[in-house]
């Protein structure tokens, strides 16, 4: 009898085939794709007002190599560009609608006057295809917020119409004030629509890896723009939840898994302790790893000595 005529032998052959698929995914990571979401949007200044231009329109978006989906995007990127302003600044956002249906723009977790809340048909008329609408307000309070469609949202948001909106800088809690923060990472979670299971509009192996040196820290803002809750797990290091929905916590909460509900923004401080490539993924396992290997909501933190 040959080795593969035995039960153990055929199991070994099947395991080899499955393991080869897993290895292929890992070797492809980080896979190159067209397009990068969440890029910083530069405003122009008009009489002291920061003016940001957004255009919503359909486009093809590559979520992973050789997988192009029809997205609905702000400024041709998924997630939409990151908007950052400082407390006290006057902000104007001009939204042009080039979609085949109406839309409106909501500033989620951001204090704005009711007329700027972007919920048609209650606080404004729908922005019809071909039309524009100007939102304007003063950034009154710090925020780890989001902007997203509030029209046919179950379709428009998961198809790509969402982005990060940040006001001010997140302060470090007194107990973690020694941290050397070298980067802030915005991670927009999605699980539905044409984009599907993704981190910042990309699915593994096309997700972006992040890098720290031992002793360095990063602040991660998780934004859940999907339809499901995602327990985000970083193998190492442990993190501290320092803010919930943009509000700093009096006492940071340690953890390795942070459950981010739809609409929630959790801010976590991670400080690198041990070198290596550490997996970082949603722990609902059918969002992350199956017979074909890792997919969807998976990336890595690379810690250098």
Least distance to Cu ion, CB of residue 303, Å:
23
Residues 177-236 that bind Cu ion (CB under 5 A): 230
By rule CB under 5 A, what string of x and - marks binding of each residue 242-281 to Cu ion?
----------------------------------------
Greatest CA separation for the chain: 85
Within 10 angstroms of residue 55's Cβ, the number of other Cβ atoms is 15
**Residues linked to residue 135 through DSSP beta bridges, in sequence order:** 93
Q: Which is nearer to Cu ion, 84 or 287 (CB)?
A: 287
CB 201 within 8 A of CB 63: yes
Least Cα distance to 162 among 101, 118, 220, 224 occurs for 224
The reply to whether 282 sits near Cu ion by the rule CB under 5 A is yes
Least distance to Cu ion, CB of residue 294, Å:
13
Q: Which is nearer to Cu ion, 118 or 196 (CB)?
A: 196
Q: Which is nearer to Cu ion, 41 or 282 (CB)?
A: 282
Least distance to Cu ion, CB of residue 283, Å:
7
Least Cα distance to 299 among 283, 278, 284, 285 occurs for 278
Q: Which is nearer to Cu ion, 108 or 230 (CB)?
A: 230
Q: Which is nearer to Cu ion, 165 or 295 (CB)?
A: 295
Q: Which is nearer to Cu ion, 31 or 284 (CB)?
A: 284
Q: What are phi and psi of 9, to 5 degrees?
A: -65, -45
Angle at 36 between CA 33 and CA 38, to 5 degrees: 155
Residues found in the chain: 305
Q: Which is nearer to Cu ion, 102 or 198 (CB)?
A: 198
Binding region for Cu ion (CB under 5 A) out of 25-33, 69-77, 202-210, 285-293: 285-293
Size of the site for Cu ion (CB under 5 A): 4
* Distance separating alpha carbons of residues 246 and 3, to the nearest angstrom: 59
User: N- to C-terminal Cα distance for the chain?
Assistant: 50
Residue whose Cβ sits closest to Cu ion: 282
Cis upstream peptide for 30 (omega within 30°): yes
Least distance to Cu ion, CB of residue 302, Å:
22
CB 179 within 8 A of CB 269: yes
Residues of this chain that interact with Cu ion (CB under 5 A) are: 230, 282, 284, 287
């Amino acid at each position: 009898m040959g080795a593969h005529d035995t039960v153990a032998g055929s199991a070994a052959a099947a395991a080899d085939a499955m393991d080869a698929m897993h290895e292929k995914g890992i070797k492809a990571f980080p896979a190159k794709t067209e397009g990068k979401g969440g890029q910083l949007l530069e405003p122009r200044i008009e009489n002291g007002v920061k003016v940001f231009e957004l255009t919503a329109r359909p486009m093809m978006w590559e979520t992973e190599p050789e997988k192009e989906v029809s997205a609905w995007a702000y400024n041709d990127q998924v997630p939409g560009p990151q908007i950052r302003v400082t407390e006290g600044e006057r902000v104007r956002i001009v939204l042009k609608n080039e979609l085949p249906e109406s839309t409106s723009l909501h500033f989620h977790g951001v204090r704005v006057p009711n007329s700027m809340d972007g919920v048609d048909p209650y606080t404004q008329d729908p922005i019809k295809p071909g039309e524009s609408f100007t939102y304007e307000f003063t950034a009154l309070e710090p925020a780890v917020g989001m902007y997203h469609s509030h029209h046919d949202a179950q379709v428009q948001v998961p198809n790509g119409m969402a982005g990060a909106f940040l006001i001010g800088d997140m302060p470090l809690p007194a107990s973690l004030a020694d941290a050397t923060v070298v980067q802030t990472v915005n991670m927009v979670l999605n699980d539905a629509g044409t984009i599907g299971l993704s981190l910042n509009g990309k699915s593994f192996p096309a997700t972006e890896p992040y890098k720290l040196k031992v002793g360095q820290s990063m602040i991660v803002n998780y934004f859940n723009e999907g339809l499901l809750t995602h327990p985000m797990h970083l193998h190492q290091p442990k993190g501290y939840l320092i803010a919930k929905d943009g509000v700093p916590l009096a006492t940071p909460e340690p953890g390795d898994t942070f459950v981010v509900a739809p609409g929630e923004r959790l801010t976590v401080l991670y400080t690198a302790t041990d070198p290596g490539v550490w997996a970082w993924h949603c722990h609902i396992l059918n969002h992350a790893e199956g017979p074909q290997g890792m997919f969807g909501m998976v990336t890595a933190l690379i810690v250098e000595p």
